[in-house]
Structure 1
Amino acid sequence: MNIYSLFVVAIALSLDAFGVALSIGLDSCVKRKNKLLFAISFGFFQFLCTFIGAYSGFLFNTYITYVPQIIGGMIIAFVGAFMIKEGFDNKEEKLLLNFKMYFVLGISVSIDAAVVGFTMFNKISSNYVILGDSVFIGIVTLILSIIAFIISRYLKRIQLVCKYADYIGGIILVIFGLKMMFF
């Protein structure tokens, strides 16, 4: 996968974390330290889920069977459609600032990364390339989460922004899935 495609995937996967970070950033009881811990959590779990998914896909292809591009594209398009559907859902959740929330939110915004890793990075034969791509996705997520916290200081209408983040991320994944299936 070239760097451009990897960057587009990283951005698409990071938009969930971006939307959640915007929401968290508007909560007045969240301190700078908490914001940094959330950003680190989002980046780490995005990396971890991508790596686990990619390595699982590699092992699946090596020892069980080859996963065709069409199936992978369909799964990615499905994840994108699911993200768009999440954008329509009304999310009114109150943030609880305890240690578990860093894990819960970190994993919840990163589950789609495992699916994308499984389907897109399963042909990579080098563990170093899988690790590098996963780290890249984690770093992009970390940076976008920090940017979201900075932007959240200036935003007044978070519901609108969160919905668009889900839609944009979902649309990008649907397009990428279609690209995998047909091109």
Structure 2
Amino acid sequence: MNLYATIILALGMSMDAFAAALGKGATLHRPGWKEAVRTGLIFGVIEALTPLIGWSIGIVASQYVMAWDHWVAFFLLFILGGRMVLEGLRKKNADEPLEIPQRHGFLLLATTALATSLDALAVGVGLAFLQVNIVTTALAIGTATTIMAATGILLGRFLGPVMGKWAEIVGGLVLIGIGGSILLEHLNSLA
């Protein structure tokens, strides 16, 4: 795989993380560089590890991973997104003061990152059949995801105040939409 193909793959793999981080950033109270870098690194490391894991699984279990990765991603993102929507709806009462967090917990970010990176796991399985330097490819994917997720958090900083209490609802709907698109993309490829 040449440099251009690697860059395109890395950017493609990081788009879900960007969208999820944008929603996460919109629900925080003025996230700064420190939170953006923290979130970016969590997403980036997980996104870099999943193609390595997929590549390692490779030929042995490729049919099982590729058969279920879209369902796992869909359910994880649906649950996380649904939780965000419910939290946003609970804050709908105008008399209720909004409690806007300064940062998201590690487990929430790691789960979101894992859910958005399951496609990279499947890509890693596919890369096992090609003559690819998987370490370089995984590092490219992780780097692109770190940058895109950090950018998403920072852009979310500006969207959050504009969207107000609806930011969490929209962020949850974005996660559900990402999960749905992963599932639909796979189901369409079967047809």
The change in CA–CA distance for 1:136 and 1:19 in structure 2 (over 3 A counts) is same
In structure 2, stretches of 5+ residues that fail to align are 92-98
Equivalent residues, number: 170
Instruction: Name the counterpart of 1:150.
Output: 158
Q: Is the 8 A contact 1:77 1:176 kept in 2?
A: no
What is the aligned partner in structure 2 of residue 118 from structure 1?
121
Matches within 5 A, 1:92-107: 97=102, 103-107=106-110
CA RMSD of aligned residues (A): 3.1
Does the 8 Å contact 1:80/1:171 carry over to 2? yes
Matches of 1:87 and 1:102 in 2, distance apart? Answer: 15
Match of 1:78 among 72, 76, 89: 72
Q: Deviations over 1:105-137 (max 9, x none)?
A: 432331224533322223333121221122222
- Percent of counterpart pairs with the same letter? 9
Letter in 2 for 1:39: A
Q: Is the 8 A contact 1:54 1:120 kept in 2?
A: yes
Residue-by-residue CA offset, 1:16-61 (whole Å, 9 max, x unaligned): 322221111xx3xx5xxx5322211221111111111111221222
* Counterparts in 2 of 1:7 and 1:102: CA distance versus 1, 3 Å: same
Higher Rg: 2
Change in CA separation of 1:83 and 1:161 when aligned onto 2, cut-off 3 Å: same
- TM-superposition CA deviations, 1:46-103 (whole Å, max 9, x none): 11111111112212226xx1412x74253124312431343333236956658xx563
Higher share of residues assigned helix? 2
- Amino acid of the residue matched to residue 48 of structure 2? F
Give the 3 Å change call, closer, same or farther, for CA 120–176 of structure 1 in structure 2: farther
